[in-house]
């Protein structure tokens, strides 16, 4: 049996603990569970992939559900990468966008270095240098 046949797809948010655990596989900065819970509740769409009851992949969409859609947290844990699960997550994410985005809606995402070709194959373009993307991470002292 192929791995894809063993994967359970759920259209729900992961728990804050699951989210924190899968984020940690990427080396991303840690977040506290209350922050995670608040963020997850405000998702427009979430998809979780489970194998043997273990969360192995996630994807989320955030935004205003009309003009702007941002694809976030496309994560497949390292031991499951290269097996088509990222494509499966993006297929589900793009089905949601296809069903909810209007003409000229903006669909954005930030990707890790080195995975541009994965998203290019799905129709995403790298921003030209004349249209730089910007970001800021709030570093509040606690």
Kindly list the catalytic residues. 119
* Integer Cα distance of 76 and 48 in angstroms: 10
> Would you state the structure tokens that stand for residue 113, as one six-digit string?
């270095």
List CB contacts of 37: < 8 A, sequence separation 6 or more: 16
| Rg, the chain, Cα only | 15
Q: Is residue 64 a contact partner of residue 51, using CB atoms and an 8 Å limit? A: no
> Would you state the structure tokens that stand for residue 129, as one six-digit string?
């240098």
* Integer Cα distance of 125 and 107 in angstroms: 11
In angstroms, how far apart are the furthest CA atoms of the chain?
50
């Amino acid at each position: 049996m192929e791995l894809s046949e063993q994967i359970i797809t759920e259209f729900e948010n992961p728990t804050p603990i699951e989210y924190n655990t899968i984020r940690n596989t990427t080396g991303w900065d840690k977040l506290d569970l209350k922050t995670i819970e608040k963020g997850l509740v405000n998702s427009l769409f979430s998809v979780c992939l489970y194998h043997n009851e273990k969360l192995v992949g996630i994807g989320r969409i955030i935004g205003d559900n009309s003009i702007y859609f941002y694809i976030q947290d496309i994560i497949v844990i390292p031991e499951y990468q290269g097996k088509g699960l990222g494509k499966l997550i993006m297929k589900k994410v793009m089905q949601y966008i296809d069903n909810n985005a209007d003409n000229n809606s903006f669909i954005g995402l930030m990707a890790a270095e080195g995975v541009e070709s994965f998203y290019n194959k799905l129709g995403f373009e790298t921003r030209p240098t004349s249209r730089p993307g910007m970001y800021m991470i709030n570093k509040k002292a606690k």
